[in-house]
């Protein structure tokens, strides 16, 4: 490295994309620093996203099982199970601090310098981090995303009444009535937590179905299951305003197509209509960069921007805002900078909704295949026919396999099951190797496991499942 640069690589942001890119770059022998303005590493995902939400989802599932009497059919009689919300939150915080501390340890182990402070460009090689100015040969922008605000609705996480996803992770008490504005992944996950802990939950979704972008059959079946659990789901409905008086919020809603306004009274309102890239405040123009009309930075296949030594990954570039996608891109971009060939197969990024049951998908939906005019075959197998699911009294959901009608190559798989997030990995790997439905059907699956439903759905593509 020449004397004019302090670092070979400077990563801006330490979320799943940024910290992975920094560690991989250091492993490849590049002198690396990572700029992060939070007090802890790990970005949204670790601090106020994937990790704390999973901690609460798990804890709330355990509470509901114990409290609802669901375990009595297994001969486990529990009476007087009580909720200690403070302890549940403390356990969540412990999980977060353990993991954020783990990244700090990995930085030290791999000799990555953590520059503490907000970063902004001075020019294409110079970045100001807090009061310090550093120069780097290559710069990776991995600043992630933030909650998209809803015009006219003021979020104040401190008061715990109108909150975003961050505030919903630490409500001071279980609300009697929680209104979710948005029926997407984040709202349904966090809504699930508070519903299990005793809240009445109403979902207000502008579109005609929840879970936008997912396979149509999955969306219908999920809505049915969530309604059975007690969610009140209002689709085709828009929020026109939220007012707060004392400890209560009033949510004004009307049909999306227009019509009479009605109001909902709530103790807590969660605004979760999506996320927007964190590109403001970076002074991109000083580096010669601009964003597209969605505030994203456009990149080529190697994640390079229009300025050759500046790269971008994760939520700040077009594509699904998923932590695991950012991680893969972090490894790939570091390898590209080091002169290797970093590859991410963007056609095979799995998506998971961590509700109960979980919902997982990979590849194309039926709607996408129809729109593209692709002839396909479909195999579907319900967990009602799976021996392990029946034994566990865990029969909600199905596996659906979509395969090319001519080549039999698997084009998409959609799973609703308590174990869907783990089960999808098998299919992603099979698709990465270009598997046909027959390949999966003739692969031996251990018995009795939920995964046998994947094999049976693949057998169903050719109309030959055994257990239905």
What DSSP letter does each residue of 172-217 carry, written as one string?
SS--SEEEEE--SHHHHHHHHHHHHTT-EEEEE-SSSSSSTTS-HH
User: Taking 80 as the threshold, does the pLDDT of residue 398 lie above it?
Assistant: yes
Closest CA to 117 of 129, 132, 126, 103: 129
Give the domains, in start order, of the chain with CATH numbers: 7-146+276-337 (3.50.50.60), 162-273 (3.50.50.60), 357-461 (3.30.390.30)
Q: Are 150 and 251 in contact (CB under 8 A)?
A: no
Q: How confident is the model at residue 139 (pLDDT cuts 50, 70, 90)?
A: very high
Coil, helix or strand for 381? strand
For the stretch 322-331, pLDDT in tens is 999 999 999 9
Q: How confident is the model at residue 1 (pLDDT cuts 50, 70, 90)?
A: low
Place of tokens 């174990």: 419
Half-sphere exposure of 128 (CA within 13 A, CB side): 12
Question: What does the alpha-carbon distance between residue 60 and residue 459 come to, in Å, rounded to a whole number?
Answer: 36
Question: What does the alpha-carbon distance between residue 96 and residue 93 come to, in Å, rounded to a whole number?
Answer: 5
For the stretch 33-89, pLDDT in tens is 999 999 999 999 999 999 999 999 999 999 999 999 999 999 999 988 999 999 999
Q: How confident is the model at residue 154 (pLDDT cuts 50, 70, 90)?
A: very high
DSSP per-residue letters across 402-455: EEETTT-BEEEEEEEETTHHHHHHHHHHHHHTT-BHHHHHTS---SS-TTHHHH
Helices (H), 28-145: 43-48, 50-68, 85-109
Provide the annotated binding site for FAD: 54, 143-145, 315, 321-324
Coil, helix or strand for 462? coil
Closest CA to 203 of 162, 168, 154, 237: 237
Q: Is the peptide bond before 448 cis (omega within 30 degrees of 0)?
A: yes
Q: Report the helix count and the strand count for the chain, using DSSP H and E.
A: 13, 22
- DSSP letter at 125 equals S
Can you give the pTM of this predicted structure? 0.97
Provide the annotated binding site for NAD(+): 182-189, 205, 274
* 445 belongs to the catalytic site: no
Task: Collect all residues with Cβ–Cβ distance below 8 Å to 84 and sequence separation of at least 6.
Answer: none
Question: What does the alpha-carbon distance between residue 419 and residue 281 come to, in Å, rounded to a whole number?
Answer: 40
Q: What is the mean pLDDT of residues 166-182?
A: 98
Total length of the chain: 468
Residue tagged active-site, from 301, 356, 445, 447 = 447
Q: What is the mean pLDDT of residues 147-152?
A: 94
For the stretch 196-208, pLDDT in tens is 999 999 999 999 9
């Amino acid at each position: 490295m020449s004397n004019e640069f302090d670092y070979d690589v400077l990563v801006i942001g330490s979320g799943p994309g940024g910290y992975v890119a920094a560690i991989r770059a250091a492993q490849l022998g590049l002198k690396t620093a990572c700029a992060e303005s939070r007090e802890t590493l790990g970005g949204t995902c670790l601090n106020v996203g994937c990790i704390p939400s999973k901690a609460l989802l798990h804890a709330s599932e355990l509470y509901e099982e114990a409290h609802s009497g669901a375990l009595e059919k297994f001969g486990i009689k529990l009476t007087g199970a009580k909720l200690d919300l403070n302890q549940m939150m403390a356990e969540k915080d412990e999980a977060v601090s353990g993991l954020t501390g783990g990244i700090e340890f990995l930085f030290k182990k791999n000799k990555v310098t953590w520059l503490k402070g907000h970063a902004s460009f001075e020019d294409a090689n110079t970045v100001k981090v807090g009061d310090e100015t550093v120069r780097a040969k290559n710069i990776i922008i991995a600043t992630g995303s933030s909650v998209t605000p809803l015009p006219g609705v003021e979020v104040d996480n401190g008061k715990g009444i109108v909150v975003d996803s961050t505030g919903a992770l630490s409500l001071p008490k279980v609300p009697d009535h929680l209104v979710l504005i948005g029926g997407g992944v984040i709202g349904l996950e966090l809504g699930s937590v508070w519903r299990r802990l005793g809240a009445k939950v109403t979902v207000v979704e502008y579109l005609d179905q929840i879970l936008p972008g997912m396979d149509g059959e999955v969306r219908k079946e999920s809505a049915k299951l969530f309604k059975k659990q007690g969610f009140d789901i209002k689709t085709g409905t828009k929020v026109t305003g939220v007012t707060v008086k004392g400890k209560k919020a009033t949510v004004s809603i009307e049909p999306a197509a227009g019509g009479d306004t009605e109001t909902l009274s709530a103790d807590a309102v969660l605004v979760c209509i999506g996320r927007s890239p964190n590109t403001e405040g970076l002074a991109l123009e000083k580096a010669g960069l601009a964003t597209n009309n969605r505030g994203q930075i456009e990149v080529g296949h190697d994640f390079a921007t229009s300025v050759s030594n500046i790269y971008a990954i994760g939520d700040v570039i077009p594509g699904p805002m998923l932590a695991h996608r950012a991680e893969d891109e972090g490894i790939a971009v570091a390898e590209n900078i080091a002169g290797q060939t970093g590859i991410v197969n963007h056609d095979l990024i799995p998506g998971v909704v961590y509700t109960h049951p979980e919902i997982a998908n990979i590849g194309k939906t039926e709607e996408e295949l129809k729109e593209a005019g692709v002839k396909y075959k479909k195999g579907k197998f319900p967990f009602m026919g799976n021996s392990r699911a029946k034994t566990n009294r865990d029969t909600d959901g199905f596996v659906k396999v979509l395969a090319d009608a001519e080549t039999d190559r698997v084009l998409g798989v959609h799973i609703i099951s308590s174990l869907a997030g783990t089960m999808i990995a098998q299919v992603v790997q099979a698709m990465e190797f270009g598997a046909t439905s027959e390949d999966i059907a003739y692969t031996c699956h251990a018995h009795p496991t939920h995964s046998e439903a994947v094999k049976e759905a693949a057998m169903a593509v050719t109309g030959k499942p055994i257990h239905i």
